[in-house]
């Protein structure tokens, strides 16, 4: 059903600072950056950037405003791991299978995620305290 771990998301107060920290200390490269108004985030994907070295990426998520889920997360828990994202080939199929197994998804239909991907979430209260994202990448 699931292909691999696509990314782990870290809630950060300041995107530029976080990118610089992970680049300077760990050598991660910025692979992609965008603002997603609907999700209330400014985000960056960082990783090895090595062709052929398929790896889970790290998604840095900074809040766009106080209503952002990321702002609420940071207020409550402080900066830190916010989500784990599983990559799937067909999110409509996987959603159907998960619902048939009694797993509740946050959105009735997938929403737009990073770089035109389609995403949905399992609430952390249903998944052992972890916000699970399922993501179908854009081709």
Q: Does 78 bind ligand MC0 (CB under 6 A)?
A: no
In this structure, how many other beta carbons lie within 10 angstroms of the beta carbon of residue 45?
21
Contact indicator for 52, 72 with CB cutoff of 8 Å: no
Angstrom CA distances, 88 to 11, 13, 63, stand at 23, 29, 26
Determine the interface stretch with ligand MC0 among 16-24, 50-58, 82-90, 96-104 (rule: CB under 6 A): 82-90
Q: Which is nearer to ligand MC0, 21 or 86 (CB)?
A: 86
Contact indicator for 117, 137 with CB cutoff of 8 Å: yes
Distance CA 83, CA 14 (A): 17
Q: Does 133 bind ligand MC0 (CB under 6 A)?
A: yes
- Residue 29: closest CA among 12, 46, 42: 46
For the bound state, the minimum distance from the C-beta of residue 105 to ligand MC0, rounded and expressed in Å, comes to 10
* Binding-site member from 58, 84, 91, 119 for ligand MC0 (CB under 6 A): 119
Which residues lie near ligand MC0 (CB under 6 A)? 9, 36, 39, 41, 43, 59, 61, 69-70, 72-73, 76, 82-83, 85, 106, 113-114, 117, 119, 121, 123-125, 129, 131, 133
């Amino acid at each position: 059903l699931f292909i691999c771990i696509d990314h782990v998301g870290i809630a950060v107060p300041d995107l530029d600072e976080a990118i610089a920290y992970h680049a300077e200390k760990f050598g991660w490269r910025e692979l992609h950056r965008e603002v997603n108004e609907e999700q209330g985030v400014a985000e960056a994907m960082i990783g090895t950037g090595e062709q052929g070295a398929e790896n889970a990426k790290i998604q840095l998520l900074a809040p766009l405003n106080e209503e952002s889920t990321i702002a609420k997360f940071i207020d409550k828990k402080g900066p830190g791991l916010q989500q784990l994202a599983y990559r799937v080939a067909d999110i409509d199929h996987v959603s159907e299978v998960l619902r048939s197994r009694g797993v509740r998804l946050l959105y009735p239909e997938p929403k737009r995620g990073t770089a035109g991907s389609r995403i949905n979430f399992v609430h952390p209260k249903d998944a052992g305290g972890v916000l699970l994202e399922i993501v179908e990448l854009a081709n």
